[in-house]
């Protein structure tokens, strides 16, 4: 919910800065290098100029290639679908659906930061495609495909972090994380259900 930093000067003056976090996403590559930078600071106590230089090196790292995100999404969605019992044709549908989950996610994230709307729109559109594919005879088990592909949208990280914060007595942050996860999961369920109702699809 916010970032807080407090320092004490040599004269004993306490200085605190607080910044509100209005939107967040996890860049694990950058997180890894920032963790390494933190360890370096503790071990070597660099000056402000060197620290700033090293910080900029981390922040200016090249982002993950777009094709890797698509590949990861396809492997994740198709892999979970196979795990839940999909056959070959179902897996083909899952590959296509997973591709569109990543594509829609990248497009919608540019205009919509609300996780409820984000999850609802993606799950609704992708479920429409899955049901139509099964009705056209491309796949056989829409339910199994859906369960596998929807794993790309479900995040247990928020709940885990929320419980951790509650255990650390950070009540506001803990409840915020848990509530975000619940709303996100509810949006996914509503999007899928809405698609089923519209197409009168039967989950096999």
Query: What distance in Å separates the CA atoms of residue 191 and residue 104, rounded to the nearest whole number?
Result: 14
Q: What angle do CA 82, 87, 88 make, to 5 degrees?
A: 100
Q: What gap in Å lies between CA 130 and CA 149, rounded to an integer?
A: 10
**Model confidence pLDDT, tens digit, residues 156-185:** 677 787 888 888 888 888 888 888 888 888
Question: How confident is the prediction for the chain on average, in pLDDT?
Answer: 87
Q: Kindly tell me if the per-residue pLDDT of 112 is higher than 80.
A: no
- Tell me the DSSP string of 136-156: TTS-S-HHHHHHHHHTTT--S
Give the percent of the chain with pLDDT over 70.
Answer: 95
Backbone angles phi, psi at 133, to 5 degrees: -60, -45
> Given a cut of 50, is residue 12 above it in pLDDT?
yes
Give residue 204's pLDDT: 46
pLDDT of residue 108: 86
Q: Taking the CA of residue 200 as centre, how many other CA atoms within 13 Å lie in the half-sphere pointing to its CB?
A: 0
Give the per-residue pLDDT at 184. Answer: 85
Average pLDDT over residues 142-150: 90
Question: How confident is the model over 63-71, as a mean pLDDT?
Answer: 87
The tokens for 108 are 């919608």
Q: What is the pLDDT of residues 75-111, one digit of tens each?
A: 999 999 999 998 999 999 999 999 999 999 888 888 8
Three-state SS at 174: helix
Would you kindly state where each structural domain of the chain is located, as residue ranges? 2-59, 66-199
| Per-residue pLDDT tens digits for 21-46 | 776 667 888 889 999 999 999 999 99
Q: Judge if pTM exceeds 0.75.
A: no
Percent of the chain, pLDDT > 90?
A: 44
Per-residue model confidence (pLDDT) at position 201: 47
């Amino acid at each position: 919910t916010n970032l807080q930093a407090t320092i004490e000067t040599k004269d004993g003056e306490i200085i605190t800065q607080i910044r509100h976090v209005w939107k967040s996403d996890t860049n694990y590559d950058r997180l890894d290098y920032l963790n390494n930078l933190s360890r370096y600071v503790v071990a070597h106590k660099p000056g402000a100029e060197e620290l700033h230089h090293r910080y900029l090196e981390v922040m200016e790292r090249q982002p993950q290639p777009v094709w890797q995100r698509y590949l990861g999404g396809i492997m994740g969605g198709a892999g979970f679908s196979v795990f839940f019992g999909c056959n070959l044709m179902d897996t083909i549908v899952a590959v296509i659906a997973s591709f569109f989950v990543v594509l829609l996610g990248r497009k919608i994230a540019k205009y919509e930061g609300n996780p409820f709307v984000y999850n609802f729109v993606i799950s609704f559109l992708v479920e429409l495609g899955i049901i139509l594919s099964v009705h056209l005879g491309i796949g056989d088990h829409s339910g199994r495909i859906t369960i596998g592909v929807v794993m790309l949208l479900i995040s247990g990280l928020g709940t885990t972090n929320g419980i951790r914060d509650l255990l650390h007595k950070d009540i506001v942050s803990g409840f915020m994380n848990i509530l975000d996860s619940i709303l996100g999961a509810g949006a996914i369920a509503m999007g899928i259900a809405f698609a089923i109702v519209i197409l009168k699809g039967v989950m096999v």
